[in-house]
Structure 1
Amino acid sequence: MGERLRKLGIRILVSRSTALFQLATDLPAAVLPASSASTSPPPSDGSGPPPETGASSKPRSVYEAPATSKAKTHMPLDDRRTWALLRQLDDPDHLEFPRGYDHTATRALLEQLASRLGQRFQCTCSVDRGVEDASHHGTIVIPQGSTHSGEHITVTVSNFGNLAAVTLGNPGNYAEEEENVLFETADRHRIDGELEALGYVSVSGHLLWTPYDDVSNLGSHYSKYPPRWWTRFFDYL
């Protein structure tokens, strides 16, 4: 994969925040902790919101590409609406989960998503259910050998607003232009279909790496590395 990128003149960048995800995907399933279970199929610095790229009366995935396009690029359909939703969900008094949070319902939805992705990709997905002190509920990893992209895919589910972020590899592994080249359309569409069927709202992972700048005091807890919007809704706090 690195050779493919070098031929295209793209430089590989790795985020500091991917270490835990890398450990989970590198370890054999037999040595993963009890908090990481498996589900098998049943028998951006300082920039503000990007300009609006269009609107649609029909709800669609943030990443959905035009039906007539054969390109691999998956751009947010409407970044302004995404930013509006993120700011609406940002309650300064509730950083880990929102008012009226239903853990049982959120967990049940995560289990359904893991099962459906396992069926779509004909694989066993690793599921991290042991998340605490965080703004996200759990992660699902589709193994590399089951994807067309030649890389594992991580689906991170937030505690807020049925938000979900899909990333090639671990979150932060690839810059946006790298992911546009490597993330196969067939993989992206299969995941988008399952997210939409269960009522999840797919949010661009690259949009979420924008520095956090809203109403909570989240920034006061991060003196060395300022938080990102990813931290606000998809990470440990």
Structure 2
Amino acid sequence: MTKHEAELVAMLRELDDPEWLERPRDYDRGKVGALFNGLVARLKDDFATQCVSERDTQDSSEYGRVTVPADATACGTRIVVCVSKFGSLALVCAENPGAFLGTGEAQAEGELDAADLDNVCRTLADLGYVIVPEELLERDYAGPSQLPWHVQRPTWWHRFFGIF
């Protein structure tokens, strides 16, 4: 595990409060929504296209998703950004979460352009989001929270982006 990965895991552990599964104790829906609106607007401008968004996901620790359409990307594969209700966590993936084991695999298969990925990551960083790689989120969950019974193999993704 790299130093950066270790720092991200430490941050996930710090955010993990067993009493607050769906959202953190200090959750401010208005603040999270305003930040998400800014993300949608920036991606729309950056890619010069309308980006579809879903927000305020019910019974989930994910706040919402914004999708850059395939026809606006260099490789013709849509880019999906998932935003958690916890700590401004964000996940960037090609096509959908789980379609590739991370952005590196999507790039290696020619499905994600480095410049498009850099553009999305820069936008997220500018807005204060913390990007957590899908590879890390797919690791086995090792925290104190009791995740829902229907989760067969709990991962960090289930904890911070999953449905409850």
| TM-score bucket of the superposed structures, by smaller chain | over 0.9
- Give the 4+ runs in structure 1 shifted more than 4 A: none
Q: Tell me how many residue pairs correspond in the alignment.
A: 161
Give the % identical residues: 37
Query: Could you tell me how far apart the structure 2 residues matched to 1:108 and 1:135 are?
Result: 17
Unaligned runs of 5+ in 1: 1-50, 55-77
Residue equivalent to 2:141: 212
Cα offset, 1:178, TM superposition: 2.8
Matched, 1:121 2:47: yes
TM-score under structure 2 length normalisation: 0.93
Calculate the TM-score normalised by the size of structure 1: 0.65
| Structure 1 segment 1-237 matched on structure 2, within 5 A | 51-52=1-2, 54=3, 78-176=4-102, 178-181=105-108, 182=110, 183-218=112-147, 221-222=149-150, 225-237=152-164
Alpha-carbon displacement from aligned partner over 1:133-188 (angstroms, at most 9, x marks no partner): 00010000000000113200100000000100000111000134532313211011
Instruction: Please tell me the residue identity of whatever aligns with 1:179.
Output: A
The 8 Å contact of residues 101 and 134 in structure 2, kept in 1 or not, is answered as no
- Displacement after TM superposition at 1:192 (Å): 1.0
Structure 2 SS opposite 1:166: strand
1:156 aligned counterpart, secondary structure: strand
Alpha-carbon distance in 1 for matches of 2:24, 2:105: 34
Q: Gapped runs of 5+ residues in structure 2?
A: none
1:157 is paired with a residue whose SS is strand
CA RMSD of aligned residues (A): 1.4
Q: Distance in 2 between matches of 1:87 and 1:149?
A: 35
Cα distance in 2 between the residues matched to 1:234 and 1:226: 14
CA distance in 2, matches of 1:163, 1:135: 11
CA shift digits 1:12-54 (9 cap, x unpaired):
xxxxxxxxxxxxxxxxxxxxxxxxxxxxxxxxxxxxxxx22x5
Query: 1:130: Cα distance to partner?
Result: 4.5
| Structure possessing the higher radius of gyration over alpha carbons | 1
